[in-house]
Amino acid sequence: MVRERSTVIGGRTTRWLESGGANAARTLVWLHAFPLGADMWQPQLQSVPEGCRVVAPDLAGFGGTADHSGRPSIDDFAHDLDDLAHHLGLRHFVLGGLSMGGYAVFAYLRLNPSRLKGIVLADTKSGADTTQARDGRQKMLDLVASKGVAGVADEMVPKLLGVTTQRANPGLALQVRATIEANSAEGVSRSIQRLRDRPDATSQLARAAIPALVIVGEEDGITPVAEARSMANALPEATLAVLPRAGHLSNLEAPDAFQAALWPWLTAL
Ligand code: MLT
């Protein structure tokens, strides 16, 4: 059963979803992609194995979690996660993130690596934005200002989903669009700035001396298989899983294959 929780931490409301036993031996915390929310982890929340717990927060400015008021930074997500871990009494946990969530995993590795037993990097990359990507962020900021989150959904949904999903599972495109449109324009704008200004995390990979699972959809056009392969090669203890017929949102597009890679890896830690 998936439970929805919300509390005030540091003066701001934080919402998260969780499943599995509160005293489970292993806790996996999932950080979501841009511009979605914790609900994108429903397949993984619903399939949690015995002895494991899954916690999936809405990141600041998304869903039911209030944003910070200062200049936005990807590090905000790491500080919020540290506060939530403290609130939940999580001393050691496995941290996973998909795309933007992966950028937040790198931010947490900079902040408090001693809490981490392992990391899952799904459909993400370690590099910073190129000049061209930064120009694209400005276009996206202009789009939110002119057309709101619906404009962002028009632009992003075809990129987030692989060609197979777009052909075979149009219902998922509607579901992803609804999740995007539930967010506020302000929260989405502030996270575009977080994405644009994030640092290059590539040099962190070799120092991440903990087990890492790298997952990527073979049809991922945003963070392609080559990015996943190069992260896996640079990480000291990595396992790479390439999921057939899945795009960028591989956990939603191929949940069975995603879980077949995830749960045996997690329960063996
Ligand atoms: C995401 O899926 O979180 C975003 O596509 C990441 C990005 O745009 O860099």
pLDDT for 94-122, tens place per residue? 999 999 999 999 999 999 999 999 999 99
Say how far apart CA 47 and CA 171 lie, in whole Å: 21
What separation in angstroms does the CA of 152 have from each of 147, 160, 176, 249?
8, 12, 12, 16
Say how far apart CA 88 and CA 60 lie, in whole Å: 17
Give the pLDDT band of residue 264 (cuts 50, 70, 90).
Answer: very high
Ligand 1 environment, Cβ below 6 A: 33-34, 99-100, 195, 222, 248
What separation in angstroms does the CA of 124 have from each of 32, 148, 181, 224?
11, 25, 22, 8
Mutation choice for ligand 1 from 160, 193, 223, 251, CB with most ligand atoms inside 8 A:
223
Amino acid identity of residue 83, one-letter, is D
> How many Å lie between the centroid of ligand 1 and the Cα of residue 98?
8
* Residues facing 20 on adjacent strands: 53
Instruction: Please tell me the predicted confidence (pLDDT) of residue 137.
Output: 97
Say how far apart CA 250 and CA 95 lie, in whole Å: 17
Residue that is written with structure tokens 């329960």 in the block: 267
Look up the pTM and report it.
Answer: 0.97
Of the candidates 239, 194, 250, the residue with the CA atom closest to the CA atom of residue 212: 239
Instruction: Please tell me the predicted confidence (pLDDT) of residue 184.
Output: 97
> How many Å lie between the centroid of ligand 1 and the Cα of residue 47?
25
Give the pLDDT band of residue 22 (cuts 50, 70, 90).
Answer: confident
Say how far apart CA 6 and CA 201 lie, in whole Å: 31
Of all residues in the chain, the percent with pLDDT exceeding 90 is 99
Instruction: Please tell me the predicted confidence (pLDDT) of residue 209.
Output: 94
pLDDT in tens, 235-248: 999 999 999 999 99
Instruction: Please tell me the predicted confidence (pLDDT) of residue 242.
Output: 98
**Whether residue 23 has pLDDT greater than 90:** no
Amino acid identity of residue 126, one-letter, is S
Instruction: Please tell me the predicted confidence (pLDDT) of residue 13.
Output: 98
Mean pLDDT of the chain: 97
pLDDT in tens, 52-73: 999 999 999 999 999 999 999 9
Mutation choice for ligand 1 from 30, 31, 34, 132, CB with most ligand atoms inside 8 A:
34
pLDDT in tens, 189-222: 999 999 999 999 999 999 999 999 999 999 999 9
